[in-house]
Structure 1
Amino acid sequence: MDSIPLPLLFGILGILIVLSGGFSSSETALMTLNRYRLRHLARAGHRGARRAEKLLQRPDRLIGIILLGNNFVNIAASSIATLIALRLGGEGALAAATGLLTLTILIFAEVAPKTLAALRPERVAFPAAFVLGPLLRLLYPLVWLTNFLANGLLRGLGVSPGEGGQSALSREELRTVVNEAGAMIPQRHQRMLLSILDLDKATVDDIMVPRNEVVGIDLGDDWSRITEQVAGSEYTRLPVFEGGIDNIRGVLHVRRVLTAMLDGELTRERLLEHVRDPYFVPESTPLHRQMLNFQAERRRIGLVVDEYGEFLGLVTLEDILEEIVGEFTTDPAEAVSDIHRQADGSYLAAGSASVRELKRLLDWDLPADGPKTLNGLILEHLETIPESGTSLLIDGHPVTVMQTEENRVKVARLERRVRPRESGLDGAD
């Protein structure tokens, strides 16, 4: 060894430090890769992504070959540094060489390479995969022996080496991914994706049209009244009932009888021929399930009933789609709402305003299984029908009843949440 020139020893030491940095950076890069993006690139035919994905299928082998290589070059670098120290300063220089080598490896072979790999994992991982793959095949017996001993130790500690792996994203984790997508997904599309994730949190009774607002055809009315209602209806489908809304005969597709009505050939009997049997929906059906049910039944409107079979209201496919994409209007600013923001920052809301919409707009923290309308929420808190001017706090928000009508709240004013001031913080400059 004494015959080896010092410049050559320094060159070998530099190469070993570079190799150590390569192993360290490849480990960090491969372990911090976005697995879903990696899978996408691999399916798209990216060679480096395919090799990296194959290596990550057995992380124990991957870590084994990286650590074998890293420890080998680090030990070799330590030996070379020792030779150089003995050549230059004898045994007295060994301590200085050890400290200098430790600092050099820490900076150039650990911190800097791993930081680069964490910031640019794909740029490091994909080229590294072309080297680590053949190296793993070359040293496979040694890697297998190392993994066999390490896995045996893990089993002795009660840990199965095969457990864990790539698990599927939970709903809340997927929500975080969508929120952090930034400019990669337009904000409107983000809202739609989040709305889809929220579909299973809402049921049909959260968005249904309540029975007192249902517009339908009463076969007990005069025929002139019925034809006038059919001709002037703003809805494509109307429920048909007889002798009261609880006795529903079915649902009429208005367009199917317009031609006969214009020709003067529409009669009660012919109208009933176009009435389709009612499709009843339990009130507790989740929205995502009901959307699939509409598709399976080839329906667009359902009649919501409670556990006793009492008619509660109706829900349409459009109502569910609006929960995802928003109101179906040409201009979102023109969307009809029961909640209107005032100049002073407060809101005027109709008693029929949905609690679900209030929670979304005002960030109210209310249970999902409580009242579905603002009127029901106020009545639940007061346990009586309030008079105009009555004020109360709901989830810290001041609510003032502005107008009542018979046995319900018609309009209420909602203000910002009251936040108690922290003593000793006000008035200090």
Structure 2
Amino acid sequence: MNLFEHLALLAVLVLAAGFLSLTEISLAGARKIKLKLLAEAGDDRARKVMALQAHSADFFAASQLGLNAIAILGGILGEGALRPFFLEWLSVFYAGPGRENIAFTLSFVFVTTLFVLFSDLMPKRLALISPETTAMAVIRPVLFVIRLFKPFSWTLNVIANGLFKLFGINMTREDRITFDEISAVVEAGAQAGVLQKQEQHFIENVFELESRAVTSTMTTRENIVFFDLTEPEESVRQKIAAHSLSKFPVCDGVIDRVVGYVDTRDILVRLLNNQSHFHLSESTVRTVLIIPDSLTLSELLDRFRSSKETFAVVINEYAFVVGVITLSDIMVTVMGRWGSPLEADQQTMQREDGSWLIDGSTPVAEMKRVIDLQSLPEEERYETAAGFMMFMLRKVPKQTDSVEYEGMRFEVLDVDHHRIDQILVKRLDPGQKALGAATPAAH
């Protein structure tokens, strides 16, 4: 064969190897969820790709056979065709020793570059751009290649499976999807403009219900407004007028002896029915849902659904009331600023200098989102901004106590009976950053 025929055959081998490389990456990178949607829309090619992914051993064996055979044949053909050409070309301006070796090196570099560029790098990058579309486009010729190499691939798979079994390697693929993977997809969607930033936070908050405890969202004990069974009617009216709440727990003497709750709509109905007088008793209050403080928000949603209630009292292991929580509180946790803009503004406020004023009761997740922090140290040990400060300081905080973490200073601005009311968060200049990951700076 002349040089042109050698180069034409070499080009065919390069294209064949490129096709196999492209199919390998596209089949491996095609997302099962997207293929499933295409298959449900009626695309038979997507079903074939999914079936091949589930039983991919035959294809990869055939692909590796083809790639290695093409690489060996391409090397032999390239060296045989190009070395004389490079040798003749070198003779024009170089007649010294080593011409054979130089010609061999040049032919080797040329053929290798040709295969790397057009049979490996470019096909794989093309396949990664749209793996599902590429996989469906090549699925029919791929199935033909598998049938062509079936005897050889079967033999190789038998040997490979025997070796895997000998070394105790489990070849079962797990297709579990984790929260981190879903979060990464959602974040990628937000960066691509498919999702708005608020929608991204909404989706992430829904998944966080599984890990967040009820104590991170409840109204705490000191902020509970409750009625006593013997409370005068006038006092009840004043509390309802002073507090914009729809439900009030009813207690027998002290807050830890909860007997039920009152819905202000029931009182309104009585007033509309011209019942000007009403009194509280165990027969007129509703049964309240009592839950432990160890429940997650997701578990509480299940309790609300099964009991048909939307209000619950939270108690600790000593049967002391630690807070109350409603279905609306959970919705605010999910919706964030959408659900309750006034409440969110009261908990976090950005000042003109870029610093933040954060209420001590602000949930950790909300504080991280507001100040743009990915994580806090040992987050499972506290639930609020105040809890973060107490964990970092390792003491009961006082005014002006501060800690530094990830280039930010957290300073206690106001303390009320050992409870942190407000925290100032300010980003430090690069030269002011703490040397360690987290540095208490108590004063």
Matching residue of 1:47: 44
Q: Per the alignment, do residues 112 and 399 of structure 1 end up closer, same or farther by CA in structure 2, a change over 3 Å counting?
A: closer
- Shift in alpha-carbon separation, 1:394–1:360, aligned structure 2, 3 A: farther
Question: 2:332 matched to which residue of 1?
Answer: 322
What does residue 24 of structure 1 align with? Answer: 21
Question: Contact (CA 8 Å) 1:339, 1:347: kept in 2 or not?
Answer: yes
Change (3 A) 1:178 1:378: closer
**Cα offset, 1:149, TM superposition:** 1.9
2: CA distance, partners of 1:102 / 1:126: 30
Structure 2 residue aligned with 1:293: 303
TM-score by length of 2: 0.79
Q: Are the equivalent residues in 1 in contact too, given 2:86–2:107 (CA < 8 A)?
A: no
Match of 1:337 among 327, 340, 346: 346
Q: In structure 1, list runs of 5 or more residues that go unmatched.
A: 424-429
1: distance between equivalents of 2:361 and 2:42?
55
CA drift of 1:307 comes to 0.3
Q: Once the 2 structures are TM-superposed, how far is the Cα of residue 233 of structure 1 from its aligned partner?
A: 5.7
Q: What residue is the counterpart of 2:376 in the other structure?
A: 365
Can you give the 5+ residue segments of structure 2 that lack an aligned partner in the other structure? 89-99, 435-443
* 1:209 to 2:219 alignment: yes
Give the distance between the partners of 2:359 and 2:129, measured in 1 at CA: 52
How far does residue 395 in structure 1 lie from its aligned partner after superposition?
A: 4.1
Amino acid at match of 1:365: L
Residues 111/376 of structure 1: CA separation in 2 closer, same or farther (3 Å cut): closer
Contact in 2 for aligned 1:257/1:274 (Cα 8 Å): no
CA distance in 1, matches of 2:401, 2:277: 54
The aligned counterpart of 1:177 is 185
Preserved contact between residue 404 and residue 410 of structure 2 (Cα < 8 Å) = no
Question: Relative to 1, partners in 2 of residues 1:379 and 1:80: Cα closer, same or farther, differing over 3 Å?
Answer: closer
Q: 1:270 to 1:158 in 2, by over 3 A?
A: closer
Residue 305 (structure 1) aligned with residue 315 (structure 2): yes
Counterparts of 1:386-397 in structure 2 under 5 Å?
Answer: 386=398, 390-396=399-405
The answer on whether the counterparts of 2:232 and 2:279 sit within 8 Å (CA) in structure 1 is no
Matches of 1:81 and 1:401, distance apart in 2: 74
The offset of 1:242, in angstroms, is 3.1
Task: State the superposition RMSD in angstroms.
Answer: 3.7
**Contact preservation (8 Å) 2:358, 2:367:** no
Distance (Å, rounded) in 2 between the aligned partners of 1:107 and 1:239: 73
Which residue is 2:355 aligned to? 346
Paired residues, what number? 414
Partner of 2:33: 36
Counterpart contact for 1:64–1:147, Cα < 8 Å = yes
Secondary structure at 2:59's aligned position in 1?
helix
**One-letter identity of the residue aligned with 1:41:** L
Are the equivalent residues in 1 in contact too, given 2:34–2:132 (CA < 8 A)? no
Name the amino acid aligned to 2:401: L
**How many percent of aligned residue pairs carry the same amino acid?**
22
- Give the aligned residue type for 1:416: R
Contact map agreement 1:33 1:121 (CA 8 A) in 2: yes
Q: Report the more deviating stretch, 344-353 or 244-253.
A: 344-353
Question: C-alpha deviations, 1:117-156, integer Å up to 9, x for none?
Answer: 2334334322221111133234322221121123223333
Instruction: Go from structure 1 to structure 2 and tell me whether the alpha carbon gap of 1:345 and 1:70 turns closer, same or farther (over 3 Å shift).
Output: closer
- Listed as ranges, the matches of 1:58-73 within 5 Å are 58-73=55-70
